[in-house]
Amino acid sequence: MLNFIVAEAWSSDALWSWYSAQRAVRDAIAELEDAGSALMPLIEASQWHAKGAMALHALIVEARGRTAAEIGELSGRLWEIESMAIS
């Protein structure tokens, strides 16, 4: 919830920047969630016993882990952005 007392003290540029940052982080989280979801079937499909496929599988699992870590990091940034306007 936007604290209107704080919002009144902000300039329109600052408020626009706040909304823009919030939107950009939300969009980035959504894209990473989509990418992470797309990796899940690849993890199952690449679980073979050949060395090349095992290496690919390991890379996909690593990419999924890094995607999840970025989602966590961006969620923290989003919380920080949102808390700027919450009383």
**Is 41 a domain residue?**
yes
- Amino acid (one-letter) located at 67: T
Residue from 85, 76, 84, 82 nearest 29 by CA: 76
d(Cα 12, Cα 75) in Å, to the nearest integer?
25
**Is 44 a domain residue?**
yes
d(Cα 70, Cα 31) in Å, to the nearest integer?
11
**Is 4 a domain residue?**
no
- Structurally, the chain folds into a number of domains equal to 1
Angle at 32 between CA 70 and CA 26, to 5 degrees: 85
The per-residue pLDDT for 73 is 93
Full domain range(s) for residue 21: 13-83
What six digits make up the tokens of 87? 């009383």
**Is 40 a domain residue?**
yes
46-74, pLDDT tens digit by residue? 666 677 778 888 899 999 999 999 999 99
pTM of structure: 0.59
The per-residue pLDDT for 1 is 43
